[in-house]
Amino acid sequence: MKYFIIAGEASGDLHGSHLIKEIKLLKPNSEIQAWGGDLMQEQGAEIKKHIKQLAFMGFVEVLQNIRTIQKNFKLCKKQIKKFNPHTVIFIDYPGFNLRMAKWVKKQGYKSVYFISPNVWAWKASRVYKIRDYIDQMIVILPFEKDFYKKYGVEV
């Protein structure tokens, strides 16, 4: 099995490293490429873009780096197409990942979202994007399961 994982922040790198460890235990021959960090790399992922190059916080910083962000979208799409994974796994990082999930869905790749964006706390309208673009949501907080099921999301 081939997996492409996108984590754009340090917390996503941590959670992604645990996920990769479990994938490797269950499916030792899995190939994993990722946008992530050192922890994911230590568990066997081939890092295609490091999180140090991805974290833009706040409105002003995003505006200042809009061209870089657009280039990152193009690069990520190119890398996914070239690798041709069975599944694309998104970890948090909703500003980037939800836009990428829309494209992934159109390309016909299976998509999994691991570690939900806090749509139940703010920007609740994102739940509809998740429902439309994500094949399976893996949640870590107990109440999230009922929240997503209410909107028809596979949890």
Domain extents in the chain: 2-98+117-124
Edge to edge, the sheet with strand 110-114 lists 46-50, 31-36, 2-7, 87-91, 110-114, 136-138
Instruction: Give tens-digit pLDDT for 41-68.
Output: 999 999 999 998 876 666 666 566 678 8
Instruction: Give tens-digit pLDDT for 53-111.
Output: 876 666 666 566 678 879 999 999 999 999 999 999 999 888 899 999 999 999 999 99
E-state strands within 27-114: 31-36, 46-50, 87-91, 110-114
pLDDT value, residue 114: 96
Top-confidence residue, 82 or 147: 82
| Spatial separation of the C-alpha atoms in residues 82 and 99, rounded to whole Å | 19
pTM, entire model: 0.91
> What does pLDDT average to over the chain?
91
| Residue labelled with tokens 């994982």 | 5
Look up the CATH architecture of domain 2-98+117-124: 3-Layer(aba) Sandwich (3.40)
